Amino acid sequence: MSALEWLKAQPFTAGRRLAVAGCSYGGIKTMLGTERPAGYRAAVNFIGAAQSWAPIPEIRERLATAARNAQPPVFFIQAENDYDLKPSRVLAAEMQRAGKPHQLKLYPPFGSSRLDGNDFCVTGVELWGGDVFPFPETHLRPQRDRLTPSWPFRILTLLLRRTSDSIL
């Protein structure tokens, strides 16, 4: 049984109301997952491919294809001082041309280095939380079936913080 199928079967989830989010390499995987019929209702791509966009041409085309074929709405998020802003800009433009719902937000520089900008997804929760947490809720339907707003992303935030603490 896949992790996604397991998650859908849990009593604490509404199996038809799943959102996915990924940071860095996880942002790449998030984009690739959006073109499959996994049942995601919304996706958040934090800094996906910021470090691999320029040196790997194959990833640019593959992610552009995923953006054109994305099934759920995608929210692209990066800090302006991340390694490369082109992935978010290009993929959002691909979704725009394909008539796919999406959102792009570039935040002011976070910290003082490119690494700080790249860590924005983990350490900048206080800045992006007000934008990100409501995004899935606007796409998770039916409304009559709503859970407490944004609880899955609050859990995600907690996991991201624990992961960053263990790395540091």
Domains in the chain, start-ordered, CATH in brackets?
17-167 (3.40.50.1820)
Closest CA to 76 of 68, 86, 159: 86
Say what the pLDDT of residue 1 is: 44
pLDDT tens digit sequence for 128-160: 999 998 898 887 765 444 444 445 555 555 555
Under a CB-based contact definition with an 8 Å cutoff, are residues 45 and 27 in contact? yes
Higher pLDDT: 1 or 154? It is 154
- Mean pLDDT to the nearest integer, 99-105: 96
Closest CA to 37 of 72, 64, 62: 72
Question: Which secondary-structure segment (H or E) carries 65?
Answer: helix 57-69
Closest CA to 80 of 56, 30, 116, 134: 116
Say what the pLDDT of residue 166 is: 44
Q: Is the pLDDT of residue 51 over 60?
A: yes
Question: Which secondary-structure segment (H or E) carries 158?
Answer: helix 151-167
Q: Is the pLDDT of residue 28 over 80?
A: yes
Cis peptide before 142 (omega within 30 of 0): yes
Alpha-carbon distance values, 25 to 9, 12, 30, 50, 138 (Å): 26, 27, 9, 9, 25
